[in-house]
Structure 1
Amino acid sequence: MADQKAEATKPIAYDGPERVYPPVIAAAHVWFRAMGVTVTVDGAHHVPRTGPVVLASNHVSYLDFIFAGWGARPSKRLTRFMAKEAVFTHKISGPLMRGMKHIPVDRDAGMGSFREALRALKAGEVVGVFPEATISRSFTVKEIKSGAVRMAMASKAPLVPVAVWGGQRLWTKGRPRRLLQRKVPILVYIGEPLTPQRGDDPEAATVELRRRMQDLLDRAQRDYPDRPAGPDDRWWLPAHLGGTAPTPEEAAALDAAATH
Structure 2
Amino acid sequence: MRKWLLRLLWVAAALLISLRYRVRAVGRERVPAAGAVLLLGNHVSWLDWLLVQIALRRRLLRYMMERSIYESPVLRWMFRLGRTIPVSSKASKQAFEEAAAALNAGEAVGIFPEGGISRRCEIEKFYRGFEIIASQSHQGEIVPFYIEGMCGSRLSYTRKTHAGRRWSLRRPVTVVFGAPMPLGSSADTVRGAVMQLKDTIAQ
TM bracket (short chain): 0.7 to 0.9
1:210 is the counterpart of 2:191 = yes
Contact 1:149 1:159 in 2 (8 A): no
Residue in structure 1 matched with residue 116 of structure 2 by the alignment: 134
| Larger RCO: 1 or 2 (CA < 8 Å, sep 6+) | 2
| Separation (CA, whole Å) in 1 of partners of 2:4 and 2:74 | 17
2:172 partner amino acid: P
Give the 5 Å matches for 1:156-235. Answer: 156-168=139-151, 169-173=153-157, 175=159, 182-197=169-184, 205-220=186-201, 222=202
Q: Deviations over 1:165-213 (max 9, x none)?
A: 223424112648xxxx72100100000111144xxxx6xx221101011
Residue in structure 2 matched with residue 150 of structure 1 by the alignment: 132
Among 19, 36, 41, the alignment partner of 1:34 is: 19
| Separation (CA, whole Å) in 1 of partners of 2:129 and 2:41 | 13
More helix by share: 1
Give the 5 Å matches for 1:1-260. Answer: 17-35=2-20, 37-71=21-55, 73-74=56-57, 76-155=58-137, 156-168=139-151, 169-173=153-157, 175=159, 182-197=169-184, 205-220=186-201, 222=202
Aligned-residue Cα RMSD (Å) equals 2.2
SS at match of 2:118: coil
| Separation (CA, whole Å) in 2 of partners of 1:196 and 1:91 | 35
- Once the two structures are aligned, what percentage of the paired residues are identical? 28
1:189 partner amino acid: V
**Runs of 4+ residues over 4 Å off in structure 1:** none
Contact 2:146 2:175 in 1 (8 A): yes
Contact 2:61 2:109 in 1 (8 A): yes
Segments of structure 2 that go 5 or more residues without pairing to the other structure are: 161-167
Structure possessing the higher radius of gyration over alpha carbons: 1
Q: Deviations over 1:50-83 (max 9, x none)?
A: 1111000100101110112223x32x33210100
| Separation (CA, whole Å) in 2 of partners of 1:158 and 1:94 | 29
Residue in structure 2 matched with residue 226 of structure 1 by the alignment: none
Contact 1:148 1:159 in 2 (8 A): no
Q: TM-score, length-normalised on structure 2?
A: 0.87
Contact 2:96 2:132 in 1 (8 A): no
1:193 partner amino acid: P
SS at match of 1:104: strand
Contact 1:87 1:97 in 2 (8 A): no
More strand by share: 2
